[in-house]
Amino acid sequence: MVSDQDFDAKVLKSPLPVLLYCWATWCATCKTTTPVIEEFARDSKGRVRVTKLNVDASPMLSSKYNILSLPYILVFDNGQLQESFPGALPKHEIMMKIAPYI
């Protein structure tokens, strides 16, 4: 889990590419997508840092990255936002999106 307070350390300064999964407790689609993200995290351990951002608990980051719909995925590499995509994606699509950064 990442928040406004530890975002720089956990995401921007990560030695690995980061998949940041943005979600909220009230988001019904997030409830079905979270297991896919968790499975991707297990499969990519050591190659990609996968972390979650609760948008309600971190309003500064939600605003900074203009997260207006959920779920939302942001990909960071070398401290820079590389890609962002809204909605629920199947695991194979997530793998294809992050492959260039591994």
Active-site residue list = 27, 30
Cα angle vertex 81, ends 50, 91, to 5°? Answer: 40
Task: Give the H or E element holding residue 52.
Answer: strand 49-54
Candidates 5, 20, 1; CA nearest to 77 is 20
